[in-house]
Amino acid sequence: MKDISDCTIEYLFGKELPREQNFLFIEDINAKGHLFLLNLTKDFIKRGLNVVLVLLDSVPSNVLEELVVKESENFSVVNTYSNLYSKYYTSIQLHELNLTLKALRRQLKSEKGLIMLFWSLNPLFIHFSSNDVIHFYSENVKHAIENNTIEFYLIGKGIIEDMVIRRLIAISHCVLELEKDSSHENKCDLVYLKTMGMNIHQNILHYEYKEENSIWDSKIFIIDHL
């Protein structure tokens, strides 16, 4: 078994992540995609990059408190449903959200790089039409290219029509699917559906998640076999 500390960004995507890259994670229920995002978040923070976590899901207040207490000079949380926490609050309305994110990309980008992670796109499909959300996603891909940022988006399978998923995949640079293994508790598969500009040798990885009392301390383990 390999701990995620040995399975870093390089392990998943190669030694050098191309700038202007956009990653879409499509997850099964209970595939723990948010833990993947948080593990990536911690890895980028260790590297000294500026990191922004955009909360579109209404996570429980204790989870939110645990995340914002980690805010620092190079880690910020954007909150879309409560102005009581985090450095930045914005409405979930797509226009206002887009303006906030555009401003943050300009404000926080640095020579080392800026990372933005979105947990998750699901609520947008509840509040807005699929076409509006796809346009929002496409605009953010364009703004990432303009500002030389690397961005990760999480979305759930089953609540969105397959045609919409295919349209999002077409816009994305890299797409990964997180599949729950129903025959093994706490074990899942990570499948590379699409890669662009990266030399990734593996098509599939098996992983196991371990949830702690602290969401920040919960871990993803890459395992050689089930």
pLDDT of residue 47: 87
Q: In the chain, how many domains are there? A: 1
- Read off the pTM: 0.92
pLDDT value at 61 more than 90: no
What is the pLDDT, as a whole number, of residue 216? 92
Domain with 139, as residue range(s), is 2-223
CA atoms of 38 and 95, how far apart (whole Å) = 26
Length of the chain: 226
Residue type, 160: I
Q: In the structure, what pLDDT confidence band is assigned to residue 158 with cuts at 50, 70 and 90? A: confident
Q: Tell me the range of 57-61, 81-85, 133-137, 157-161 where mean pLDDT is highest.
A: 133-137
Mean pLDDT across 45-68:
91
* Structure confidence by residue, pLDDT tens digits, 96-145: 999 999 999 999 987 778 999 999 999 999 999 999 999 999 999 999 99
Question: Mean pLDDT over all residues of the chain?
Answer: 88
179: left (phi over 0), alpha (psi -120 to 50) or beta: beta
Mean pLDDT of 152-159: 91
Q: What is the pLDDT of residue 171?
A: 96
Token digits for 187?
């074990």
* Confidence at residue 3, expressed as pLDDT on a 0 to 100 scale: 46
Tens-place pLDDT, residues 176-201: 999 998 888 888 999 999 988 777 76
Q: What is the pLDDT of residue 197?
A: 76
Question: What pLDDT sits at residue 224?
Answer: 60
Counts of helices then strands in the chain (DSSP H, E)? 7, 11
pLDDT value at residue 137 = 97
Which amino acid belongs to residue 106? R
CATH number, residue 196? 3.40.50.300
User: What is the per-residue DSSP string for 89-140?
Assistant: E--SSHHHHHHHHHHHHHHH--SS-EEEEEE-SHHHHHHS-HHHHHHHHHHH
